[in-house]
Amino acid sequence: MVTFVSAGVIGLSMGAQYALIAIGFTLIFGILGVVNFAHGGFYVLGGYLAFTLSHVLGVPFVAAIVLATIATAAIGYVVEIVLVEKYVVDHLATMLITLGFYQILITAIVVFYGAEPMDFSFPITGSLRSGGIFVPYSNLIVFVVCGAAIAAVYWLVYRTRYGIALRAMADDGPVARSQGIPPATMFPMAFAIATGLAGLTGALVTPMLALDPHVGEGVLLKAFVVVILGGMGSIPGAMLAAFIVGLTEAYASVYLGGSKGALVLFVLVLVILLVRPQGIFGTEARKA
Amino acid sequence: MSILSIESLFVRYGGITALNGVSVEVRQGETVLLIGSNGAGKSSLINAVTGLVSTSGGRILFEGRDLAGIPSAARSRLGIGYSPEGRRVFRSLTVRENVLSSTLGLSRAAAEENFAWACSIFPLLAERAGQPANQLSGGEQQIVALARAVSTLPKLLLLDEPFLGLAPVWIDRISDAIRELQRRGTTILMTEQMARPALKLVDRAYVMRGGEVRRSGDVAEIREEALAEEYL
Ligand SMILES: Nc1ncnc2c1ncn2[C@@H]1O[C@H](COP(=O)(O)OP(=O)(O)O)[C@@H](O)[C@H]1O
Ligand SMILES: [Mg+2]
């Protein structure tokens, strides 16, 4: 029982991270129709920015995370306008562009920081122990911050007119434009929100897990799994699927051993997709 | 004074000429009908005005201003409201969100005020406010599309085949809604294939076929001709 609760808290904490990554990924796909292969890169970038600010420049950790989030959002905004915008209707082109940007970004990081893992650690150590329950404080903090960020995104997307416009754009782009919703401001804003969320997650999570130039690849893969499971383009789907994935991994690694987590996860995903090929919250194939 | 002047407009899709030098005028306060069967070019004309299709000749003047080069979203903010053929409500949005979706250019207070105004014209909106639009019937969706188009209080309302696929009872209700908008001073350019209900609503009509205007005139003149043709 005690192990069950501890693993559950860790699973929720991982689910919250996956949710932040996947919400951004699915937001970009739903609104721009772009599969952002650079998404993991913004996670890595968030990590390196937070590391540089806090460990090299001596900025307090909390401020470093806030600044890293803002910077990744701003960089995402510029990337959308400069690289993606012009080719947004061409799916193959945007895949190649985002993949190319990812390669350039990672190569630049290797050039500046080297390929070795950074010694980036969470400033708060120790664990909450009570009644045999054992949860690292870092996991709790990640869970609370990611949870707050999820709530903020949810509010933005479902409670503001800006969010209405974003979802209208995802539903039917041409009609949205005809109703006064300007793609020229909505697209880069959506991209900035999404990359900012990836940057925040990277800044928050890499000190707990690992920071090296290639941690973004696993993150992108996880985002794919979550988004396909939840239904491409669906934000509620991404949230739910992220927690399913996080909890499955946590419980599988506790009860079946670490290496079985991925196996159980992929079997689960396969089974769900056999029953619902469009994902949990997905609608049938989108019109072209 | 003309609020909309379309002068010798051409629209082409690859090799297909959908509009072949069409001229149409809409004056302040009137309701004008484009009537013609499927493929006549009605939607192409409407969407040349919304900016969703590009033109390859001619001019579109809105309040005397050439719309060339103005993006679709900006045209909406100039005062052009649009209810698309087939309604195309935002399916995953609620009824209220659909109506508010066009109001991004207004203050929050103005948007809420206009939503309340739309509810006063179309009581259905208040009853169904929180329901996803894809759960509504075709007629109800047409009301939502109309409300979405007028919630910005546009100077010109473009209405593409509002009766398409609707049962007679809904054609009557949509007609009543259009009359209510007319009473409130809305200028309308609408298209229809169904001459009989549409001609009851309008001041003037243009008969289109094969991308050209074949006839135009006030309702009395067009009614006889239309009745003689197969548009009924
Ligand atoms: N997107 C498009 N691509 C190619 N041809 C089109 C397109 N839209 C309309 N057309 C053609 O243009 C002509 C006019 O169509 P349209 O303006 O939709 O007429 P209407 O609204 O009167 O039915 C038709 O021949 C139609 O097949
Ligand atoms: Mg049409």
Give pLDDT tens digits for B94-151.
999 999 999 998 999 999 999 999 999 889 999 999 999 999 999 999 999 999 999 9
Structural domains of chain A in order of their starting residue, each with its CATH number: 2-121+131-275 (1.10.3470)
> Mind listing the pLDDT tens digit for each residue in A154-184?
999 999 999 999 999 989 999 999 999 998 8
Across the range B198-222, mean pLDDT stands at 90
CB contact under 8 Å between B101 and A176, yes or no, is yes
pLDDT (0 to 100) of residue B105: 86
Q: CB–CB of B152 and A180 under 8 A?
A: yes
pLDDT > 70? residue A64: yes
pLDDT of B229 over the 70 cut: no
Please provide the average confidence, as pLDDT, over all residues in chain B.
92
Using an 8 Å CB-CB cutoff, list chain A residues near B111: 161
- Ligand 1 pocket, B47 CB below 6 A? no
Nearest residue to A42 (alpha-carbon basis) of A190, A215, A209: A215
Angle at B215 between CA B213 and CA B216, to 5 degrees: 100
B136: left (phi over 0), alpha (psi -120 to 50) or beta: beta
Query: Which among A162, A164, A178 is the nearest to B72, CB-wise?
Result: A178
pLDDT bin (cut points 50, 70, 90) of residue A9 is confident
Measured between CB atoms, does A183 come within 8 Å of chain B?
yes
Nearest Cβ partner of A182 from B73, B90, B111? B73
Q: What is the pLDDT of residue B227?
A: 63
Q: Give me chain A's average pLDDT, please.
A: 90
pLDDT confidence of residue A233: 82
Q: Which residues face B25 on adjacent strands?
A: B5
* Closest C-alpha among A204, A190, A215, A210 to residue A46: A204
pLDDT higher than threshold 90 for residue A195 = yes
Cα A245 from Cα A14, distance rounded (Å):
8
| Percentage of chain B exceeding pLDDT 90 | 80
Residue B222: its pLDDT value, please? 80
Could you say which DSSP state residue B219 is in?
H
Among positive and negative, which fits the CA dihedral A243, A249, A252, A253? Answer: negative
pLDDT at position B194: 86
Does the distance separating the beta carbons of A162 and B104 come in below 8 Å?
yes
Answer with the residue of higher pLDDT: A106 or B231. Answer: A106
Dist. CA B32–CA B17, nearest whole Å: 23
* A161 interfaces chain B, CB cutoff of 8 Å: yes
pTM: 0.87
Nearest CA in chain B to A159: B97
Written as six digits, the tokens of A170 are: 């995802």
How does residue A280 score in pLDDT terms, banded at 50, 70 and 90?
A: confident
Say if ligand 1 is within 6 A of residue B43 CB: yes
- In the prediction, which pLDDT does A6 show? 84
pLDDT per residue over B53-82, tens digit each? Answer: 999 999 999 999 999 999 999 999 999 999
Protein residue with least CA distance to atom 18, ligand 1: B43
Looking at the predicted structure, is the pLDDT value of residue B1 above 80? no
Q: Ligand 1, closest atom to CA B85?
A: 21
Distance CA A128, CA A126 (A): 7
CB atoms A167 and B97 under 8 Å: yes
Q: What is the mean pLDDT of residues B25-31?
A: 95
